[in-house]
């Protein structure tokens, strides 16, 4: 099968087994523009950049835990984090700095640092108490410059083209683009479509988009049409978002979230808890061995 085929109408079974000899890939495109310094809607105390860094670091930790067995971390996934703002490029810190895609075991073994955090836990008597926990950090918040989303998608295409050439039979990569504003380097539609047109033998690359905001507008999760989306940018992000595969729709419904047959991987104006739910569903493995 060719590595490139038309996205529209392409066969998308998404049934390939994910294992250590046939891993899949998560690539996160993170808006690091100056506006990410603003507060997230309905939340005070931290900027969008700070909160998103917490979410992404927590997600990476959960992926590592999911793939940890008695003998250690299994390389079921390769992981990449690309930031785009005043510059576009790999956003890992510490020993992973400068690397575009890394195996999950390297993620587990090479956090930039370990911080002491507190979290609320049940005290056994119906209340909550603070508990100190270790929190690995791979990704630090940055907020500077414009929003070169076209450039970010172009980099994603280059990175995933190389990855797919080495993993032609794997479950297709999943790209998460998390942004709070319109692209400042043109219309990203063509660049996003090129990413979606990449394919393994198991289907096209999945592109999911998350819009975070400083406004109080109602959130829209997994829409199946442009109806109700408030502006042209939201409609554009919807159009360049992939339909949810069946297993993801089933998982979303189990979580009590809306997911019709035509649902796409798009969140408009998602607050932090919704972004966490979205990423949990998007990174839920379908066929892990």
Other C-beta atoms closer than 10 Å to the C-beta of 215 total: 9
pLDDT at 11: 45
Q: What is the pLDDT of residue 28?
A: 96
What pLDDT score does 242 carry?
A: 95
Residue with tokens 């994910």: 18
Neighbours of 61 (CB within 10 A): 18
Domains parsed from the chain with CATH numbers: 24-282 (3.40.50.410)
User: Residue with structure tokens 């785009």?
Assistant: 84
**Tokens at 106, concatenated:** 């390297």
- Where the chain has pLDDT below 70, the residues are 1-12, 41-44, 120-124, 126, 214-216, 271-272, 285-289
Please give the structure tokens belonging to residue 71.
Answer: 């003998």
Helix extents (H) in 67-126:
104-109
Cβ atoms of residues 188 and 149 within 8 Å:
yes
pLDDT digits (tens, 9 = 90+) for 247-277: 888 888 888 888 888 999 999 887 667 788 8
* Rounded-to-integer distance, Cα 245 and Cα 200, Å: 15
φ/ψ bin of 94: left (φ > 0), alpha (ψ from -120 to 50), beta (otherwise): left
Bridge partner list, 178: 30, 210
pLDDT of 193 reads 97
CA separation for the pair 152, 31 (Å, rounded)? 9
Pairing type for strands 24-31 and 68-69 reads unpaired
Closest CA to 182 of 201, 209, 206: 209
At residue 44, the pLDDT reads 64
Q: Can you tell me the distance from the alpha carbon of 50 to that of 137, in angstroms, rounded to the nearest whole number? A: 12
Q: How far apart are CA 202 and CA 225, in angstroms?
A: 26
Query: pTM of the prediction?
Result: 0.89
- At residue 7, the pLDDT reads 37
């Amino acid at each position: 099968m060719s590595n490139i085929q038309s996205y529209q109408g392409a066969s998308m079974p998404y049934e390939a087994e994910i294992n250590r000899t046939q891993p899949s890939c998560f690539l996160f495109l993170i808006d690091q523009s100056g506006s990410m310094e603003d507060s997230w809607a309905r939340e005070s105390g931290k900027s969008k950049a700070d909160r998103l860094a917490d979410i992404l670091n927590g997600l990476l930790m959960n992926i590592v835990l999911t793939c940890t067995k008695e003998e250690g971390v299994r390389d079921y996934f390769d992981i990449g984090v690309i930031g785009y703002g005043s510059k576009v490029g790999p956003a890992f810190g510490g020993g992973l700095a400068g690397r575009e895609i890394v195996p999950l075991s390297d993620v587990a073994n090479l956090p930039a640092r370990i911080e002491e955090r507190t979290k609320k836990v049940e005290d056994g008597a119906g209340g909550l108490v603070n508990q100190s926990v270790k929190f690995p950090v791979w990704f630090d918040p940055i907020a500077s410059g414009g929003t070169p989303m076209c450039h970010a998608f172009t980099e994603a295409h280059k990175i995933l083209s190389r990855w797919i050439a080495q993993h032609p039979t794997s479950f297709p990569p999943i790209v998460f683009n998390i942004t709070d504003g319109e692209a400042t380097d043109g219309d990203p539609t063509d660049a996003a479509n090129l990413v979606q047109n990449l394919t393994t033998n198991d289907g096209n690359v999945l592109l999911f988009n998350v819009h975070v905001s400083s406004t109080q507008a109602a959130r829209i999760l997994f829409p199946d049409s442009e109806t109700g989306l408030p502006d042209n940018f939201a409609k554009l992000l919807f159009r360049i978002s992939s339909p949810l595969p069946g297993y993801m729709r089933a998982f979303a419904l189990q979580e009590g979230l809306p997911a019709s047959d035509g649902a796409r991987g798009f969140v408009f104006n998602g607050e932090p808890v919704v972004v966490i739910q979205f990423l949990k569903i998007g990174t839920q493995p379908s066929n892990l061995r």
